[in-house]
Structure 1
Amino acid sequence: MKLFRPRGRHEAGQPARSPLAPATALYEAGRYAEAEAEARAVAAARSGRRNDPYAPLAMSLAALAIGAQGCHTEAVTAYDALLPVFGRIFGAEHPQTLKLRSDRAQALTASILPQALSRTRSACCPTHRAPGRSRAGPSRPRAARRPAALRSGGPYRAR
């Protein structure tokens, strides 16, 4: 005997499917441009609802797809626009807000890192030096550059 009857649209017992499932599947398949377009379409369709969590989640997926396409500064801009919305809907300490902040930090690092590496490689790594630039270094062999105490074995040498 059944005491309670199932309520709602999903009486067959199937779990509710997320509206972001197609966009997530495209992203996981590596089809980033299509995933971005699908996520933006979901966000536009659900933007009329005030506290609907799927609209900002769709825009965060779109920002993730933008970053995966290599446009990291554009992704950082999208993340910056989403941070106050996530804070209002989910709260500052919610796992989705923390993930958004982490994704923003990764996109920011990816946008800054190539410029920083190109500046430091030429200064520190001999293989990335500018052409025609000679390697300036001491003319003595490495063993001769060590202090005399270390060349002779130092204070801990075997007697």
Structure 2
Amino acid sequence: DKLFACGGSGSNSQHGGSTQTRFAIVEQYDPQANRWSAAASMRTPRSSFGAGAVGDALFVCGGWSTTSKLSTVERFDLRSGAWCSAAPMRRERCALAACALDGALYACGGFDGFRNLTTAERFDPREGRWTELAPMGTRRFSHALAALGDCLYA
């Protein structure tokens, strides 16, 4: 079992200006060795994305790239250590929350560039597709999502 730190963003200030840089870098922490090490980088630099582990895979979904919001999803195979593309979400969103429950990945809320979202969707890795779910009762962004029993809490 390992802990992963993926992507993110940082400011680059030069000559009084400032630009945001997105990262694709991934690091993994091994608690038995008490050591961080580099893992394969994601295919797309991104920040403000959702992530969750389902089976032997870590999924990162959506977020913000250098120029736009993302609907793309990447899958990291925990056995081979390689990234590949997975089916994209049904809509672009950044600042979303995601987590796994019962062998599926759930993504909800976020920001689409115009408003905070109530929308939610579910990814079934066995079928390789996303399904739209009933919306949340409240618009949310930069929030958390947790599974407890058979329920999700945002």
Judge same fold: TM > 0.5, yes or no. Answer: no
Q: Give the TM-score normalised by the residue count of structure 1.
A: 0.22
Determine which structure has the larger strand proportion and give its number. Answer: 2
Structure exhibiting the larger radius of gyration computed from Cα positions: 1
Q: Give the TM-score normalised by the residue count of structure 2.
A: 0.23
* Structure with more relative contact order (C-alpha pairs < 8 Å, separation 6 or more): 2
Determine which structure has the larger helix proportion and give its number. Answer: 1
